[in-house]
A and B are shown apart, each in its own frame.
Chain A
Amino acid sequence: MDAAPTNFKSNARAALLDEKLQGALKKSRGGFVDKRQQAVDDFAQFETLRDRAVDIKNHVLADLDRYLEQFESQVAKVGGQVHFASTPQQGVETIIDICKQSGAQRIAKGKSMIGEEMDLNDALEKEGMEVIETDLGEYIIQLAGEKPSHIIAPAIHKTRAEITELFHENHQKYGLTEKVEQVATIVNEARTVLREHFVNADVGITGANFLLADSGASVLVTNEGNGDLTSTLPRVHIVTASIEKVIPSHKDLTVFLRLLARSATGQEISSYTSIYSGPAQADDMDGPEEYHVVLLDNGRSKMLQSEFWEMLRCIRCGACMNHCPVYQSIGGHAYGWIYPGPMGSVWTPLLLGVQNAANLPNACTLNGRCESVCPVKIPLPKLLRKLRNQIFERGLLDRFSRIGLAIWAFVASRPKLFRSTISVSAWCLNRMGRRRGSIRRLPLAGGWAEARDFPAASGTGFVSSWNSSCRSD
């Protein structure tokens, strides 16, 4: 599939027919949901913390400039440097410069959605550098030459059999002879190969879950510990993050850490929570010589000034996509850009332009489950409706829908016409399914009838019937 949000419909159809993908989705479905629910049930303060988190994020967003300046000056105090990048291109150039200045050849990279926004791996490889992803999921999709399909579980679309084959194809050069089929042996194989890269890397690039304004530290949670090796072993540590990741202090961090792991994976806390507070100081035994934080804007400042500012509370836990029936049916790649699911359906049109992603806000049943599980209470359905309004106003909705809506509005704003339309339609839908009680082929809604019957109408309009039977009493 050509991964672009404009191709959502064909991407989705292909995804529904992709048996491997469907197998992987079926296997993961429910796991995140059940574990999150259990974690939330076991933690009485969860709701209180959600409210606290909303307050903290709203407070920071209302004063973002000041917190970013504070963060920048604190990073400088410990000997690091903050680089602001308005666009992904600027971010990439900054990172390439840092790498070149340090004479880097090998780069160990932790998982970073901001890295994905910048398409960083491609850019660094074009400069002749070797980039190795150190998160297992990211490593798997790097081997496969793919993009992440989930913001916290990038290779969730891969079956174990596919992973076995990927290792078989790519690790023979490291001396792997047998096929690794068990999870433990896959992990061990990845660990053995990745260790070499950690030790030999010149630059380590990690993402950040939070930035602490009061200390200039960046905070990263992982379940594999790859972040620590990526950040501490190489000479240079680069953190890639976006401007909305800043929070006031470590006191606020405890609120978010308790929400994040429970919402994401149902853990009480992630296996590793690392706080990076700058380059190695004189009396430190180890640590990087250089510490850079590249902060990407990429449309966020504009979003902050818009009616979509609440989206910037997002802490990237993935709960919305784990609970989204659409995501669970088609996986993440069909959305065509790096952020899938409900948060992606808001984020992508805002960053790429609604004209380039007009299907995403519409491809949602508005069931509201995403909002109900969002740890920072982002009103996702409300934001999706606002985007639908923009799409409608700009004439970007498909012609079939626009004509259908116009006819519906015309009829429904004329009660007498509406009554007779209902009666005639009910009569037709009654006749069409008289024998079976349901209709197998439906004009104008063929898609419905591909996999479902349409129940026949059992009368000729309730409102008219009720009034004629009652009034005649």
Chain B
Amino acid sequence: MRSNSDTKSVGLFATCLVDLIRPEVGFAAAKLIEDSGFHLDVPLAQTCCGQPLYNSGDLKRTRNLARNLIDTFAEYDYVVAPSGSCAAMIKIHYPRLFADESGQINQKLRKLVDRTYELTEFLTNIAKVEVRAQYPEMCTYHDSCSGFRELGIQQSPRALLNKVQGLTLTECNEASACCGFGGTFCVKYPQISAQIATEKAHNIKLTGATTLLGGDLGCLLNIAGTLSRQGSEIRVLHVAEVLAGCGDKPAIGQPRN
């Protein structure tokens, strides 16, 4: 794309939920990536990675959406998603969807898989971002399942947050336990989902943290909605918002001025 030899290009895959509900996460991710010296694009042709279809067993339509994503992001040096589950969809599940009988995938997909990163992993390992933000609050971090178990993300967000001035990080009991979101699960089995979310909210409250941070908006909407219904004052933000110094804006699900 529009990169010269010094500047690497990044295609930001915003993900549907950020696009729809929380643009702040997209702007924060863009700022962090651009401030680290990359050329950033947010291609207009991007849609959905196909997870809802994939996890419902509709593989044919999933491949259709996947092809659009692969084409849209083919030319970037890096593809970054502010979501462990959408990044895992590309890195772990696209190869399964397109593998031939011997388990091989084509070069175009191989390149995309190798160059796709979840945001905090990208900021830590590739961009080596300089964190200049401050957020003087006690925070706790929710490890989203796909990012944690499929991509092994655990240290990167914590290491980045530890560089935020004034921020203290306290660990939550069962931090890596599912919050009950589960994509289409929360629509198909809302009562079970709510019960799991209630358990998660309970553990979050026990930490005494004033802010819950995470790397996947699906989980964050679920947790924020649960806390808000319970009348809790705990703020819920995507990790990118705090890292980009935008943590003082109204939190997810809280009234805007």
Chain A positions within 8 Å of B, measured between CB atoms, are: 9, 12-13, 16, 30, 33, 325-326, 328-330, 362-369, 371-372, 385, 387-393, 397-398, 401, 404-406, 408-409, 411-415, 418-419, 422, 425-426, 429, 433-438, 440, 445-448, 450-459, 461-467, 470
Contacts and interface: CB of A to CB of B under 8 A. Distances in A.
A411 B53 CA distance: 13
A356 B224 CA distance: 36
26 contacts: A329-B192, A329-B195, A366-B145, A369-B145, A372-B149, A390-B57, A398-B188, A401-B184, A405-B56, A409-B53, A409-B64, A414-B47, A435-B255, A438-B225, A447-B194, A450-B194, A451-B194, A451-B226, A453-B224, A455-B224, A455-B225, A463-B26, A466-B14, A466-B23, A466-B26, A467-B44
A248 B80 CA distance: 48
B254 A437 contact: yes
Contact of B225 (A12, A434, A448): A448
Given A409-B64, A462-B18, A366 B256 contact: no
A458 B64 contact: no
Given A426-B20, A437-B255, A412 B65 contact: yes
B186 A448 contact: yes
Interface string B56-94: 111101001100100000000000000000000000000
Interface of B: 14, 16, 18-27, 30, 42, 44-48, 50, 52-59, 61, 64-65, 68, 145-146, 149-150, 174, 176-178, 180-199, 221-222, 224-226, 228-229, 250, 252-256
A455 B221 contact: yes
A163 B253 CA distance: 45
Given A392-B57, A415-B45, 14 more contacts: A30-B174, A330-B192, A362-B188, A363-B189, A365-B182, A366-B145, A368-B146, A389-B57, A405-B56, A415-B46, A426-B20, A457-B20, A463-B19, A466-B26
Contacts of A451: 190-191, 194, 197-198, 226, 229
Contacts of A425: 20
Contact of A368 (B65, B145, B190): B145
A30 B68 CA distance: 43
Given A409-B53, A437-B253, A455-B252, A466 B27 contact: yes
A179 B68 CA distance: 68
Contacts of B23: 458-459, 461-462, 465-466
Given A405-B52, A450-B194, A369 B177 contact: yes
A363 B178 CA distance: 14
A368 B46 CA distance: 27
A162 B199 CA distance: 25
B242 to A, nearest CB: 16
Contacts of A465: 23
B44 A438 contact: no
A405 B58 contact: yes
Given A329-B195, A425-B20, A419 B44 contact: yes
